[in-house]
Amino acid sequence: MSFSANICFERIFPQLIPLNEKLTQFRGFISALGEEFEVMLHLENGNLQLQGSWRLQQLLKPCHEAVVQSLKQSPELNIFLLELKDLLEKQLRQTKLRREILLPPPQYYSALLSHIAQSGWDKVEYVDPDLNTLHLRAKDENGRLHILQLHLPREYPKKPPVCSADLPEDFVFKWLTTSSLQDILEQFQTKLCFFQDFWMCMDEIDSSCWVLEPEKPRRKDCKRRLVLATNGSVQISVNPQCHRSIPECQFLGAERVIGPFRDNFNQNLEKWDVNSTILTNLKIVLDVKFPSPCSSNKEDYVVECGICYSFRLNDALPDKSCNNSHCSQLFHVECLIEWLRSVSTTTQSFSILFGECPYCDMVSHCCYWCSS
């Protein structure tokens, strides 16, 4: 495809100056939507080379194919330049639109910066480069550090930020169009006050017992699975709103180990005293001396599954034990079901699988249920 510059070129692009008499080199500017873009044009053997400023290159990057196509197909330089101008204007419009959609208005930034200054920059744990996400620090009255995560909408401060924190319940706060970060922090502090005693009770458990689950308790976690003895644990579910009342208790492990604890729990419920901590009550009601991290090894209570030889499997612990009290081997439910299904002598009645324990000979004593 041959290229030529014709005479009306100067009228359409007055800012492009020919650099030679043959009209094969030009230098100057193309304007699009009121913005000027520097270009260099070089015609050689009917081919055109186009060089432009960094900004021009960035703008044309997404439509590179269209520029190449136009370079190939335009019979004359001015037609190509007109098409280039069109493409540029289209890209400029799109960029402007994107900026309007993505970036908040200036008042967003002025309000946010003044609100941060009001609360104190020392409260800021993290802020993302776009100033949309903010992590604020707060200390409770017992010196625990808490992080409040805020995601700010474009309409901030007219619309409230979306907040999340490591709390046992959602952090709900009041927001007016005149509110600021300081108002949220004050409400957050009140919320932290509310949970002080709950966290004190949970901290006491975490420091005095072997906690099998969660592996690393967070402030929001209301459940703990505590070692009672080898092959036996209890999972307590505490209601953070009335944490000193009797928690839901689930006993897990070998029946011969957990049976007596379950019986104690049912018989001693009236001994539960809401003025005592959860741990103190559990000790009395279960009649247990919890194995302590100070005087025992956790490994002694981490009983592996008798099939896969691991403790944690897809977040599940070995919960199912052989019904033979002389065996009491623990298994993951998932492992046990897979094992029983692979054995030809296993029978099934509704959702219950009956089969042999992989560990002991007492076939008649080994029956298991599965939920699937």
Q: Which residues bind Zn ion (CB under 5 A)?
A: 305, 307-308, 322, 324, 327, 332, 335, 357, 359-360
Residues whose CB is less than 8 angstroms from the CB of residue 67 and which lie 6 or more positions away in sequence, other chains included: 50, 60, 84, 87
Q: Would you say 41 or 327 has its CB closer to Zn ion?
A: 327
Q: Would you say 118 or 347 has its CB closer to Zn ion?
A: 347
Residues whose CB is less than 8 angstroms from the CB of residue 60 and which lie 6 or more positions away in sequence, other chains included: 52, 67, 87, 88, 91
Residue 46, phi-psi category: left (phi > 0), alpha (psi -120 to 50), beta (remainder): left
Question: Alpha-carbon distance 206 to 217, whole Å?
Answer: 8
Beta bridge partners of 213: 225
Question: Alpha-carbon distance 296 to 204, whole Å?
Answer: 17
CB of 212 to Zn ion, least distance (A): 15
Q: Would you say 41 or 333 has its CB closer to Zn ion?
A: 333
CB of 227 to Zn ion, least distance (A): 19
Q: Would you say 239 or 325 has its CB closer to Zn ion?
A: 325
Q: Would you say 225 or 332 has its CB closer to Zn ion?
A: 332
CB of 117 to Zn ion, least distance (A): 56
- C-alpha atoms less than 13 angstroms from C-alpha of 325 in its C-beta half-sphere: 5
CB of 136 to Zn ion, least distance (A): 43
The full DSSP string for 110-165 is HHHHHHHHHH-GGGEEEE-TTS-EEEEEEE-TT--EEEEEEE--TTTTTSPPEEEE
Question: Alpha-carbon distance 117 to 317, whole Å?
Answer: 48
Q: Would you say 49 or 310 has its CB closer to Zn ion?
A: 310
Coil/strand/helix, residue 170: coil
CB of 118 to Zn ion, least distance (A): 55
CB of 188 to Zn ion, least distance (A): 42
CB 120 within 8 A of CB 113: no
CB of 141 to Zn ion, least distance (A): 44
Q: Would you say 258 or 282 has its CB closer to Zn ion?
A: 258
